[in-house]
Structure 1
């Protein structure tokens, strides 16, 4: 089974047994955003303009060479166009989109049997969801 960079990072960032993140939600979401952008670049969907093609130098641009099949990756691609790399990760790594990206990655890994969704309570009071590894049990 082939995993995306974001999926691989997510697996590294979750405790296998408890399914809880090993770093803050903010840091995890920024890292997943960065991994998603890196994946698009490696696939040839996104690159940084050198200005020779009429694009703004130092800004992300869509290449048209590869179109992601995943709807969230297509959305990341659209959000990156014409953004400076230093601003791009912050744009998708914070707020509602970042949460949707993380949840989609978790649910996708659960659907393939890598993680399992588990309802837990924090301090015995607050409902939360953990994503333990199926290999850990």
Structure 2
């Protein structure tokens, strides 16, 4: 993750590098990982849960799944995807499940590892072991090539039109609406130009994870919160995180 305005070490020049296409899981994980030491910027449970939501979001973007009523259904489409394993799990499940249930079932260390390894194979992050008592016990994925994240941050900043801290986001300039999950979203406050659906999905997931305002402290918090509630994968993440936190709070009393 790179905070707004923070200088960065090394890496390819983001101005000259060819753009790298990132999936929602990759984009989220890249922003949620410390560039230097490869450690998550949010609690591990939030990282895994939000990544599961990002997987659902990516499959929906690819037209492979959809929300029908309260349940996630496979559409029958067969897109070329790195998420074939996850898609097959949804297709062949004997009963339908809610988005929250799928987030709960998909969140795992293995899913996080697979996305990291995929980015490592493309040279975006690198595999690094951390020694404990002389043995490699912890695997981290610090950034190797900064260009993809720099391009991603630039796109998010352009979409949000982030204003200096302490200033109001202009309300006088109307912006066209953008859609996410088939719904119309008012993009007037945070941007003069409506962001695309993929960017909106990423913002919603970052908000659900509690990461959005670490990256963009001056952005419109209310707008981002409403966006997360309107986007079903992000809403499922918020619901699951709420349950996890409640369970943790109640555990000492047991």
TM-score range, shorter chain: 0.7 to 0.9
Q: How far did residue 42 of structure 1 move?
A: 1.2
**Alpha-carbon distance between aligned partners in 1 of 2:121 and 2:29, rounded to the nearest angstrom:** 15
Contact 1:19 1:133 in 2 (8 A): yes
Contact 1:114 1:135 in 2 (8 A): yes
**Alpha-carbon distance between aligned partners in 2 of 1:30 and 1:6, rounded to the nearest angstrom:** 11
Match of 1:48 among 54, 67, 70: 67
Contact 1:109 1:115 in 2 (8 A): yes
Match of 1:92 among 106, 109, 116: 106
Higher relative contact order (CA 8 A, sep 6+): 1
Alignment-derived partner of residue 75 in structure 2? 63
Q: Secondary structure of 1:134's match? A: coil
Alignment-derived partner of residue 31 in structure 2? 12
Alignment-derived partner of residue 130 in structure 1? 140
Work out whether 1:35 is the aligned partner of 2:47. Answer: no
**Alpha-carbon distance between aligned partners in 2 of 1:12 and 1:112, rounded to the nearest angstrom:** 16
Structure exhibiting the larger radius of gyration computed from Cα positions = 2
**Alpha-carbon distance between aligned partners in 2 of 1:67 and 1:4, rounded to the nearest angstrom:** 14
Q: How far did residue 101 of structure 1 move?
A: 1.4
Q: How far did residue 31 of structure 1 move?
A: 0.7
Q: 1:130 to 1:38 in 2, by over 3 A?
A: same
Q: How far did residue 124 of structure 1 move?
A: 8.0
Match of 1:3 among 19, 22, 33: 22
Select between 18-27 and 37-46 the one with higher mean Cα deviation: 18-27
Select between 37-46 and 74-83 the one with higher mean Cα deviation: 74-83
Unaligned 5+ segments in structure 1 are 50-56
Q: Secondary structure of 2:145's match? A: helix
Q: Aligned residues, how many? A: 123
Work out whether 1:83 is the aligned partner of 2:102. Answer: no
Q: Secondary structure of 2:137's match? A: strand
Normalised by the size of structure 1, how large is the TM-score?
A: 0.79
Q: How far did residue 135 of structure 1 move?
A: 3.4
Q: 1:68 to 1:89 in 2, by over 3 A?
A: farther
Alignment-derived partner of residue 54 in structure 1? none
**Alpha-carbon distance between aligned partners in 1 of 2:41 and 2:81, rounded to the nearest angstrom:** 30
Q: How far did residue 6 of structure 1 move?
A: 0.3
Match of 2:118 among 108, 111, 118: 108
